[in-house]
Structure 1
């Protein structure tokens, strides 16, 4: 199915998340939520630069006009990748104070979808939001435990979404023109004992690649019938997200976390919090750009 998984940055990230491939420059952006920084990995020279942002970035996306947009704290911000100075785009007015952003992506029309989650044990007070290209924010789902993976089908008719503790991937009918979702249905269920689904991406065959928190793996699923058709073992229990990159879009980048691991666990998985990569015989889809 693939070549050997390699550790490319032993970053020790507390909560690595949200990898996003910049095809224009051949760079990978990813975040350390608890570390309050955005990372920029350059595969050409092997460097990884951290950009402190002074708040917890749940997700970062590329902006068509240049720079980045991040979901962090209680708002959405434009960001210069060199200077790292957040500029407010929109603030969530009704979001509970104990919540934070967690994961997000741009849709095929260039809108930025990002969700929230409560910090600590709590009722499902998170929501899924969408920042449109005119900088207006709308809530599209609520009563979310832990907003996570997003992906869109090649025909732009379906949006896949994960609320982690449900252990499910749901498929929404997606209206690209209106930027709306409707009629969710379950398409994947993670088996008991294999952790919970976290971040997610999709390949050019329409198969979903799902990071499994507390599952030690990334798995590949067919959303048409809910069957698992492959998996990649990762030497870290808390696998958080994945995305395709590389010149041929056939390399899967995988983020992990070390938050909450005790000394014994870190002895067992010393590279938890690292960034991993594996070259696959599969072509992935590109990261959409924010067009606002």
Structure 2
């Protein structure tokens, strides 16, 4: 505990690349993934039990489905509906990326359900550190309609997302460019085009190399952003209006990857982490962490309205 802040290792999951923490208030479960380990982890906050499901390929992100016993799972190139009881996909894929949008070394990365239920999801290139670009999509899985929001000319590594519904604003992390952008949205939380016919974005936060690499992101009840600073060993809060850092919480690991609020009162900030090697590797690398910061809580995330 530091200054009233409580940090605990909830699950010593030893994820190689932990990501996509998703809280389901309906079941009081926290889902997260190990991308490289091809695994979906399930933490039951009521029974304090941990389970996992092995998938046939890399998992880029997971999104809550209308049925609480199912998950929408983005694999390398396809999006499927997973039944949690049988641990198998249901029916045909919900969406498949066209080959002309890149297959080799490309995979789905972070994605979430917008407040109205549409999916906003990115794809990334394995060589993103060398400048290989990604893409960002909006997808209606029910109607199969989709559109590219950001092309390879516009985004490096698409990552964390969060919404301020009242302001009709979506916040979005481009990890390669080390910044957070904001988009204007419609009342369903989907970015809208300007009069010139493009999806206009505005940079609101620039993260310095000394601070770390911005990765997964969420938002608290005061509409301040919380970002995992990969290689920075911390999660930090930013005011999206001023762009200023408000709080920085040092973690017992060096490589946090993503964060989301959860818990009975949405008072826990769950943080995923990844592998760290060598003699100096911290004890809790790859663990699911919980951060409790007095007076700070979040709101439940959205799930896909219908399929």
> Under TM normalisation by the shorter chain, which class is it?
over 0.9
Contact 2:58/2:76 (8 A) holds in 1 = yes
Residue 191 (structure 1) shift: 2.1
Partner of residue 197, structure 1: 214
Partner of residue 89, structure 1: 94
User: For each residue in 1:52-84, what CA deviation from the matched residue of structure 2 results, as whole angstroms up to 9, or x when unmatched?
Assistant: 111111110111134110111101111111222
| Distance in structure 2 (CA, Å) of the matches to 1:41 and 1:177 | 29
Of 222-231 and 39-48, deviating more is 39-48
The structure 2 residue matched to 1:273, chosen from 286, 296, 302, is: 286
Corresponding pairs, count: 288
Gaps of 5+ in 2: 193-198
Partner of residue 138, structure 2: 130
Residue 109 (structure 1) shift: 0.5
Partner of residue 26, structure 1: 28
**TM-score, normalised relative to structure 2:** 0.89
Residue 126 (structure 1) shift: 1.1
**TM-score, normalised relative to structure 1:** 0.94
Partner of residue 196, structure 2: none
Runs (4+) of structure 1 moved beyond 6 Å? none
| Distance in structure 2 (CA, Å) of the matches to 1:35 and 1:254 | 18
Q: RMSD of the TM alignment (CA)?
A: 1.6
Q: How does 1:234-245 map to 2 (within 5 A)?
A: 234-245=251-262
Residue 127 (structure 1) shift: 0.6
Residue 130 (structure 1) shift: 1.8
User: For each residue in 1:249-287, what CA deviation from the matched residue of structure 2 results, as whole angstroms up to 9, or x when unmatched?
Assistant: 1111000001xx432342xx1311100002232120211
Rate the CA distance shift 1:177–1:288 in 2: closer, same or farther, 3 A. closer
Q: SS of the counterpart of 2:247?
A: strand
Partner of residue 65, structure 1: 67
